[in-house]
Amino acid sequence: MDGSAAQARVSPGQRAPAVVRVPVSLRVNGSERRLEVDTRTTLLDALRDGLKLTGTKKGCDQGQCGACTVHVDGRRVLSCLTLAASADGREVRTIEGLEQDGTPHPLQEAFVRHDGLQCGYCTAGQIMSAVALIEEGRAGSDDEIREFMSGNLCRCGAYPNIVAAIREVAGRGDHA
């Protein structure tokens, strides 16, 4: 939000609203988690600050970079645009939940092999998007991958390697 616009709306001496906290229960990476959140808390901040799952990253807090991508009920969601309270009762999957019994997801392996990362900050979001993309059957060609991965910015410019990693896993069909 634009600070100057916000200031214009708030006259001096105006009081901040009282904090309202609500209980939320989520199923996160297969386990039941309960927490109490400020009604303003996003799912992203609840995961990171409340549940200490810091693998999901905040890049913009405005729904414009994809770094915060997680799965809610199996679908890609920008967790910075989702209020934690609105995710009550839902199934959430984050990067920490991709490994199965200590074995990384094939896409995690492919990102390592193809060097689909540099600083690694966008990586959780890229991988969560890519997992969903393949599950949705939208990774049929390089052009399709490029198009559907374009909501996940990578300032390091690892795009060609990200495409290579997704192409390999999508083509192999062992991604379930």
Partner 1 sequence: MDRPVVGEGIDRVDARVKVSGRATYPTDADLPGLAHAVLVQSTVAAGRLTAVDTTAATAAPGVLAVLTHENAPPLREARDRLGPLPPPPLQSDRIVHHGENVAVVVAETFEQATEAARLVTARYAPSPPVVDIDDPGAEHVRDPFGSDGGTGDVGAALATAPVRVERTYRTAVNTNHPMGPFATVASWEGDKLTVHDSTQGPSNTRIGLAGTLGVPQDDVRVLAPYIGGGFGSGLRTWPHTVLATVAARHVGRPVKLVLTRKQMFTSVGHRPDTRQTVRIGATRDGRITAIDHEAWQTVSIRDVNPEHVTRASLSGYASPNISARDVQVRVNVPSPGSMRAPGDAQGNFALESALDELAYELDLDPLELRLRNYADRHPVTGQQWSSNDLRACYRTGAERFGWSRRDPRPRSMRRGRHLVGYGMAGTSFFFAQFACAARVTVTRDGGAVVASAGMDLGTGTYTVMTQLAAELLGLPVRRVRMVMGDSSLPEAPVAGGSGLTGSMGSAIHAAARNTVRAFLDLVRDDAGSPLRGAAVDDVRVEHGRIVRVDDGRGESYAEILTRHRQDELTAEGSAEAPSEDEPVVPTGPYAAKFAEVHVDADLGVIRVARLVTAAHCGRVLNEKTARGQLVGGTVGGIGMALLEHTVTEPRTGRIANGTFGDYLIAVNADIPDLEVHFVGGPDPTTPNGTKGCGELGIPGTAAAIANAVFHATGTRVRRLPITIEQVL
Residues that bind ligand FES (CB under 6 A): 58-61, 63-68, 78, 80, 117-123, 154-156, 158
| Contact present, 28 and 90 (Cβ < 8 Å) | no
- In the block, tokens 């599950």 appear at 135
Site for partner 1 in 82-101 (CB under 8 A): 94-96, 98-99
Q: What is the CA radius of gyration of the chain?
A: 18
- Residue 136 touches which of partner 1, ligand FES, none (CB < 5 to 8 A by kind)? none
Closest distance of CB 142 from ligand FES, Å: 19
Among 53-61, 71-79, 131-139, 167-175, which window interacts with partner 1 (CB under 8 A)? 53-61
DSSP SS3 for 97? helix
Q: Are strands 21-28 and 91-93 parallel, antiparallel or unpaired?
A: parallel
Instruction: State in angstroms the smallest separation of the CB of 170 from partner 1.
Output: 15
**CA atoms of 73 and 51, how far apart (whole Å):** 18
Q: Please report whether residue 162 would count as binding partner 1 according to CB under 8 A.
A: yes
Residues 17-46 that bind partner 1 (CB under 8 A): 17-19, 38, 40-41, 45
